[in-house]
Amino acid sequence: KSIATLLNQMSTEEAEQYLHQISQDDPELYAEVKKYFLSFEDLLEMPEHIMRVFWRSPEIQVDDLAKACKSYDEEVINNIISYLPKRKQKMYEPFEQPLSKKEAEKAQLVFVTLARKMNDDGEINLEELMQDEDDMI
């Protein structure tokens, strides 16, 4: 768990590079660490039943979402938007101004933090999301 704590304190890019290195050097350690580390990427690739609950949360702010999604393909963004309540779908507008990577990561962290809170409150089950797909049968 201490490696996951360390990863959560790194920038997203640093954490992903570190995780990639662990996956190359020690796949078993990677599987263990991945259970505790959650990235914004993970939130984009959740199973549909978790996406439906997570993206409908009243705590989701479309302005933060626009910043968090700044560097993503339109297809990925449209998929997320499709899970938002209709009112928020209408409110969503892409963030057009230049945005520093740090600001985008800060916006992404809002959603990672919300996902952890929803997991702690029992609204969603992140263990399902964070287990290694290779463990599935």
Q: What is the CA radius of gyration of the chain?
A: 15
What pLDDT is stored for residue 88 in this prediction?
Answer: 96
Q: What tokens appear for 41 in the block? A: 């990427």
How many other CB atoms sit within 10 Å of the CB of residue 47? 10
What is the spatial distance between Cα 88 and Cα 60, in angstroms, rounded to a whole number?
9
Q: How many CB atoms lie within 10 A of CB 111?
A: 24
List average pLDDT for each run of 10 residues in the chain, which is 137 residues long.
Answer: 71 79 86 78 91 95 96 94 96 94 92 92 84 49
Q: How far apart are CA 123 and CA 77, in angstroms?
A: 23
Distance CA 85, CA 109 (A): 21
The pLDDT assigned to 136 comes to 44
Residue 22 is predicted with a pLDDT of: 87
